[in-house]
């Protein structure tokens, strides 16, 4: 595990909630939803971290709880926060999303001439087999 998220401690190999830090995490979410900026929401809750660190905290799904981490915030608060982050980024034209490219089509079926020769050298045999390929099969064939 890379690091323990703010609001948790590891005790006897288990993640447990640090009640003081968890209250601060909950306050960040509440302050942000109330209209505060990232840094102002953090400073109001008693956390002195950078803009990017607070942004990562607000997008950390571990605060919802999983098989290892107990929940600190509820799903509704998390979803509202994500919607607000998206709304603010849109208003400031700060979406740095790269377009998702479709994965390349990997052809796995080919039309081949019949194999009539055999070579002892595996490289020659492979070259011969590749030379038998006439075309790729399409969905219609």
Are 35 and 65 in the same domain? yes
Which residue in this structure is represented by tokens 């990017």? Answer: 52
Q: Is the pLDDT of residue 19 over 90?
A: yes
DSSP 5: P
Q: Is the pLDDT of residue 139 over 60?
A: no
Q: Mean pLDDT, to the nearest integer, of 39-62?
A: 93
Are 85 and 110 in the same domain? no
d(CA 1, CA 15): 12
Are 75 and 112 in the same domain? no
> Domain for residue 48, yes or no?
yes
> Domain for residue 1, yes or no?
no
**Which domain covers residue 124, as residue numbers?**
104-141
| Contact between 58 and 29 (Cβ < 8 Å) | yes
Q: Is the pLDDT of residue 120 over 60?
A: yes
Are 39 and 87 in the same domain? yes
| CB-based contacts of 62, cutoff 8 Å, min separation 6 | 5, 8, 69
What one-character-per-residue DSSP string does 63-131 give? Answer: GG--SSSPPSS-HHHHHHHHHHHHHHHHHTT---PPPPPPPPP----EEEPPP----SSHHHHHHHHHH
Q: Is the pLDDT of residue 115 over 70?
A: yes
d(CA 80, CA 35): 12
Reference 114, options 134, 89, 136, 95; nearest CA is: 134
Instruction: Specify the pLDDT at position 135.
Output: 77
Give the chain's domain count.
2
């Amino acid at each position: 595990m890379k690091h323990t998220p703010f609001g948790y401690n590891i005790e006897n190999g288990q993640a447990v909630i640090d009640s003081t830090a968890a209250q601060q995490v909950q306050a960040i979410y509440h302050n942000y939803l109330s209209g505060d900026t990232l840094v102002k929401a953090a400073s109001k809750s008693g956390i002195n971290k950078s803009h990017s660190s607070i942004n990562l905290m607000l997008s950390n799904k571990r605060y919802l709880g999983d098989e290892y981490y107990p929940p600190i915030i509820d799903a509704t608060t998390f979803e509202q926060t994500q919607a607000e982050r998206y709304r603010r980024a849109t208003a400031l034209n700060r979406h740095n999303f790269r377009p998702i490219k479709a994965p390349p089509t990997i052809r796995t079926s080919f039309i081949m001439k019949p194999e009539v020769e055999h070579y002892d050298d595996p490289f020659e045999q492979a070259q011969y087999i590749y030379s038998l390929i006439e075309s790729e099969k399409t969905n219609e064939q």
